Structure 1
Amino acid sequence: MGQTRLFLTAPREQAETIFSVLDTHFEDDGLPISIFEPEEDSGIFQISIYAEDNVDGLEKRILESLQDIVSLPPVEREVVPDMDWVSHSLEGLRPVRVGRFLVHGSHDRQLQRIGDIAIEIDAGLAFGTGHHGTTAGCLNALVDILKSERPRNALDLGTGSAVLAIAVAKAARIPVLATDIDPVATGVARANVRLNGVPSLVETHTAPGFHHNIFARKKPFDLIVANILARPLMALAPDMARHLTSGGSLVLSGILERQRRAVVAAYGGQGFRHVRTQAREGWVTIHLKR
């Protein structure tokens, strides 16, 4: 069945505001939402929501959620034909460089330089190609942490495509447990781990939160990265404290800028110390320590 793309076109700052509002408003609907720059360095972005039915009702909800935004651009429609969008989307994905990390698709393998820690992730069913601000923010935090710390055991909670687990495994050469609530994501993660040559270091499991016996066997961790969403991250704060070693580092993302204080407060109540917050594309990545 074909989809309809509802989209708004706006300059970067307004586009990021629109994306943040829509992402929050439709968080529980499971609808694909994206923000991208159709023409590189143009400063003009499109925010898109994809739907298969009740398009009129969706447009009404979009307009209602954005009613407080001044000079709101019109909501436009585009019928999206059935095709292999996973393969097609790769044509527009540019490599992402964060420190020594190079996240690239199979079509850009030739761009690897001497000294790069290359991570090959093709766009697919699981979240995390490195292009989203939260994933890039986590990679940047890992660059800083691995310069000064020597973790021995790591956890990537909510692994998605496993890009972060692979990054830690390749950079630190340590065992990493990668878990996700979605079995489809876990399957994609496992395939990416094999593709990147680290199956001996990264172990993947399907698990909601910390509810799996694998955690009892693998804990404690001295590095945990969790790129999820603010509300579940706050709920997980006590479990994070129980599974992270004293002096260990915790990297959190999937958090909007306006949610930062609430997340830091939730973890402060569990004995975590705030180290640094990095903002990127309307999202923040928070580094905490115990």
Structure 2
Amino acid sequence: MPPTPSHRASFSIGSEIAAKRVVDVLSEVFFEGDAAVAAFERPDGQWSVALHFADAPDQAWLRELVATSAGNEFADTLAFDTVEAQDWVKASLEDLVPVPAGRFVVHGSHDRDRIAPNKLAIEIEAALAFGTGHHGTTRGCLLLLDHVLKSSRPRNLLDLGTGTGVLGIAAAKALHRAVLASDIDPASVRVAAENAALNEVGNQVRVIRATGFAAPDFGRCGPFDLVLANILANPLRQLAGQMARHLALDGRVILSGLLTHQAPAVIAAYRARGLVPLKHLRIEGWSSLLLRKIW
């Protein structure tokens, strides 16, 4: 059976910096896997930004979104077409290079044989699930995880809002311990479980579908010594109280998915629940936070 075509919206923009900024904004809007967003350099030096959808998008709404994130002149050039799913995924993978983050390297299958043996390789394919490792938030979380593991070996681990499973897989590979991973999106749950198996930690990373902490598994597996949560600023603020209750005393939490200007409000919400900031990374306009529970 031939693959189902995907719906594509694309436009060109002048520089790599502008393209990355627009991709970050659009990725935040479609964070639950409603679209795949990517940018690629063209031979003429321009950058192409493309969004791929399983179903036809609302064109007027999408033009408004591009106008807000990139400007009216780019929204006016937005073009819509369809493309075979296998073609754009293949093209995306060919342009994705390995991403180093401390001891970790996130890569696609096409770079499997190019990763240094002294690195912890995490193979993640491009898909309609958030987190190939190329986003600043994922890299920030991996760098903070590497930092934590230099001085401690947490036993109870949670990857909340796992997406593709990259953070849970990284923790399992580094510590050789069980990791509970959760996501609200059924597609992400499936993709994360498949990626865990692909990375030979399928017996260590258990993926469940859950909204926030609303599942009995959290109570049974906690309190957690380390929680990884790469979500968004508003959900992170709303989860501060529950996060504190499920975190062990002196436990650490790594938070990301927030723009740099959103970090102070998130820090304040967690400080009020007994968590103090230890480290703050800023990558490509995004913040990643490491906090410790002191009471």
If the TM-score is normalised by the length of the shorter chain, which range does it land in?
0.7 to 0.9
**Shift in CA distance, 19/288, structure 1 to aligned 2, threshold 3 Å:** same
Which segment drifts farther, 11-20 or 169-178?
Answer: 11-20
Superposed, 1:72-221 pairs within 5 Å as: 75-78=76-79, 79-84=81-86, 85-221=88-224
- Aligned residue pairs total 284
Query: Cα offset for 1:223?
Result: 0.4
**Residues 40 and 95 of structure 2 are in contact (CA less than 8 Å); yes or no, is this contact kept in structure 1?**
no
Partner of 1:272: 275
Q: CA deviation at 1:73?
A: 5.2
- SS of the residue corresponding to residue 122 of structure 1 reads coil
The yes-or-no answer on 1:10 pairing with 2:18 is: no
Superposed CA deviations along residues 106-148 of structure 1, whole A, max 9, x for unmatched, are 1111112221111111112321111111111111111111001
Q: Does the 8 Å contact 1:158/1:180 carry over to 2?
A: yes
* Mapped partners of 1:142, 1:56: distance in 2: 41
Distance 1:194 1:273 in 2: 35
Q: What displacement does 1:200 show?
A: 2.7
Which 5+ residue runs of structure 2 have no aligned equivalent? Answer: none
| Rounded Cα–Cα distance in structure 1 between residues aligned with 2:59 and 2:203 | 46
Secondary structure of the residue that 2:95 maps to in structure 1?
A: coil
Whether the 8 Å contact between 1:35 and 1:45 is mirrored in structure 2 is: no
| Secondary structure of 2:214 counterpart | coil
SS at match of 1:263: helix
Distance across 1 between alignment mates of 2:26 and 2:188: 24
Task: State how far apart, in whole Å, the 1-side matches of 2:183 and 2:276 are.
Answer: 26
Separation in 2, partners of 1:120, 1:66: 31
For the 8 Å contact 1:255–1:285, the answer to whether it is kept is yes
Shift of 1:238: 0.4
Taking the aligned partners of 1:183 and 1:31, their CA distance within structure 2 comes to 12
> What is aligned with 1:259?
262
Which of 226, 232, 237 aligns to 1:234? It is 237
Amino acid in the other structure paired with 1:286:
L
Matched, 1:55 2:59: yes
CA distance in 2, matches of 1:268, 1:76: 45
Residues 194 and 242 (structure 1 numbering): CA distance in 2 closer, same or farther, change over 3 Å? same
Q: Which amino acid aligns with 2:78?
A: R
2:155 aligned partner, one-letter code: R
**Counterpart contact for 1:102–1:112, Cα < 8 Å:** yes
Are the aligned partners of 1:8 and 1:74 in contact in 2 as well (CA < 8 Å)?
no
Q: 1:6 to 1:31 in 2, by over 3 A?
A: farther
> Offset of 1:53 from its aligned partner?
4.1
Change in Cα spacing, 1:46 to 1:88, as seen in structure 2 (3 Å) is closer
> Could you tell me how far 1:29 is from its partner in structure 2?
9.9
CA distance in 1 between counterparts of 2:32 and 2:64 reads: 15
Counterpart CA distance in 1 for 2:264 and 2:63 is 32
How far apart, CA to CA, are the structure 2 residues paired with 1:245 and 1:81? 48
What is the percentage of aligned positions where both structures have the same residue?
41
Q: Report the equivalent of 1:223.
A: 226
Is residue 3–residue 50 contact of structure 1 (8 Å, CA) maintained in 2?
yes
Over the aligned positions, Cα root-mean-square deviation in angstroms equals 2.6
| d(CA) in 1 for partners of 2:254, 2:97 | 25
For the Cα contact (< 8 Å) 1:159–1:179, is it kept in 2?
yes
TM-score (norm 1): 0.87
Deviation at 1:273, TM superposition (A): 0.3
Q: How has the CA–CA distance of structure 1 residues 73 and 277 changed in structure 2, closer, same or farther, with 3 Å as cutoff?
A: same
Pairs within 5 Å for 1:62-73: 62-63=66-67, 65-66=68-69
Contact 1:4 1:55 in 2 (8 A): no
AA partner of residue 261 (structure 2): R
1:239-284 deviation line (CA, Å, top 9, x unaligned): 1100111111100011011111111111111111011111112211
Deviates more, 1:153-162 or 1:122-131: 122-131
The 1:194/1:97 distance shift into structure 2, 3 A limit, reads same
Is the 2:33–2:129 contact (alpha carbons within 8 Å) kept by the matching residues of 1? no
